[in-house]
């Protein structure tokens, strides 16, 4: 069916979809076609196609003829209910009424929340570049890298799937989880899209065995047991309530879930709990830290609790209260998929690039 187009004022320097949506934060976004600048994914249990020009984020929703949003998504003002998720609450009888139900204001609010557009990246990038010469060289090629504000349920179970995994395989597992236990949302250009499973569904009987049969391995046990734990503590309401806790307490509560270690807990704290100075330290980040910031760590072979804390504290000292965002820019700049954007790739002199900037 024909779909309405919404435009949100947002310069490309404040949001780069191509980097933000494929740097390992969320695993539900796909390019519409190879090489396309359009992305398709699910926000607020609505399937969206996103694109951008130099001045606007362009949003196109897709609905089935009888789609309903799930109960935990509704229209909440950011100032009144900042701890809740934003979405579009509709009960249409046909596709035309769906489109009539959506306002520009709703769409603007949903994506301002999801991309945290009220945070000005230009000011942050300037302060980070002044604080760190590595960042100063990276930032011109990696502007617009934003942290998403994700639904905690999706964030928790997606990152349980991330254990000892790469982005491509995590994406495959998350997609499989949605197809197995989510609700059908709609079909767009031959591809079916499903909602993310609820905690109650993932806590159900037989889930662990099914997930093992579907290739989740030991993560099947973690997903099922964590879902049961969350359900016992109050379900999705409890998980959302963690946003109100101080960082250390939130981090500790998340680590009490099966399959959630320090790194996964920090990913969740940073990407859905609002703790923007959280620093997830995996092997990749450890290598960046040892190479560019804390050379004495080169003699260490493993990331101990002490080393983990030292790396996080160093990034927080250098980059301040939004250290997790700055860390994400440096992390993105080091990914192989963005190699062509690196300074040394653009000037054609790799050695010169490395000499100028140890990080790269």
Among the listed residues 38, 82, 221, 263, the single catalytic one is 263
> Distances from the Cα of 57 to the Cαs of 100, 228, 332, in angstroms?
21, 38, 21
List the Cα angle 338/343/347 in 5-degree steps: 120
Say if residues 77 and 64 touch (Cβ distance below 8 Å): no
- Annotation marks residue 263 as catalytic: yes
Residue ranges of alpha helices (H) inside 167-218 are 167-181, 199-202, 207-213
Count of other CB atoms within 10 angstroms of residue 327: 27
Residue ranges of alpha helices (H) inside 44-116 are 95-101, 104-114
**Which of 276, 277, 294, 272 is closest to 285 using CA atoms?**
294
Q: What's the burial of 119, exposed, middle or buried (CB within 10 Å: 0-12/13-18/19+)?
A: middle
Q: Can you tell me the distance from the alpha carbon of 57 to that of 55, in angstroms, rounded to the nearest whole number?
A: 7
The phi-psi region of residue 44 (left if phi > 0; otherwise alpha if psi is between -120 and 50; otherwise beta) is left
Q: Which residues pair with 9 in a beta bridge?
A: 56
Q: Can you tell me the distance from the alpha carbon of 144 to that of 60, in angstroms, rounded to the nearest whole number?
A: 21
Residue ranges of alpha helices (H) inside 45-140 are 95-101, 104-114, 121-131, 133-138
Count of other CB atoms within 10 angstroms of residue 241: 15
Supply φ then ψ for residue 182, to 5 degrees. Answer: -90, 170
Tokens 């859905």 belong to: 272
Q: What's the burial of 91, exposed, middle or buried (CB within 10 Å: 0-12/13-18/19+)?
A: exposed
Residues catalogued as catalytic: 263
């Amino acid at each position: 069916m024909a779909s309405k187009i919404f435009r949100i004022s947002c310069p490309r320097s404040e949001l780069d979809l191509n980097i933000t949506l494929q740097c390992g934060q969320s695993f539900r976004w796909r390019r519409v076609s190879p090489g396309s600048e359009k992305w398709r994914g699910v926000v607020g249990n609505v399937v969206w196609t996103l694109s951008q020009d130099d001045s606007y984020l362009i949003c196109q929703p897709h609905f089935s003829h009888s789609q309903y949003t799930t109960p935990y998504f509704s229209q909440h003002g950011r100032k009144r209910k900042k701890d809740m998720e934003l979405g579009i609450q509709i009960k249409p009888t046909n596709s035309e009424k769906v489109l009539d139900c959506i306002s520009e204001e709703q769409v603007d609010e949903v994506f301002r929340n999801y991309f945290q557009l009220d945070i000005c990246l230009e000011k942050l990038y300037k302060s980070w570049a002044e604080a760190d010469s590595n960042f100063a060289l990276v930032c011109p090629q990696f502007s617009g890298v934003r942290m998403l504000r994700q639904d905690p349920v999706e964030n928790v179970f997606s990152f349980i799937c991330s254990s000892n995994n790469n982005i491509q395989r995590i994406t495959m597992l998350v997609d499989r989880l949605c197809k197995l236990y989510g609700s059908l949302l709609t079909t767009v250009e031959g591809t079916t899209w499903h909602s993310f499973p609820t905690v109650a569904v993932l806590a159900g009987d037989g889930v662990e065995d099914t997930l093992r049969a579907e290739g989740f391995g030991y993560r099947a046990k973690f997903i099922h047991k964590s879902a049961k734990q969350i359900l016992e503590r109050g379900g999705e309401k409890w998980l959302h309530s963690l946003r109100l806790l101080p960082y250390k307490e939130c981090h500790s509560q998340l680590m009490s879930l099966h399959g959630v270690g320090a790194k996964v807990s920090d990913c969740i704290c940073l990407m859905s709990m609002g703790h923007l100075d959280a620093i997830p330290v995996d092997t990749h980040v450890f290598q960046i830290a040892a190479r560019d910031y804390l050379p004495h760590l080169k003699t260490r072979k493993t990331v101990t609790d002490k080393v983990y804390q030292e790396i996080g504290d160093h990034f927080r000292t250098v980059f301040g209260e939004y250290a997790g965002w700055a860390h994400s820019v440096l992390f993105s700049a080091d990914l192989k998929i963005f190699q062509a954007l690196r300074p040394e790739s653009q000037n054609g002199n790799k050695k010169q690039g490395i000499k100028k900037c140890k990080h790269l």
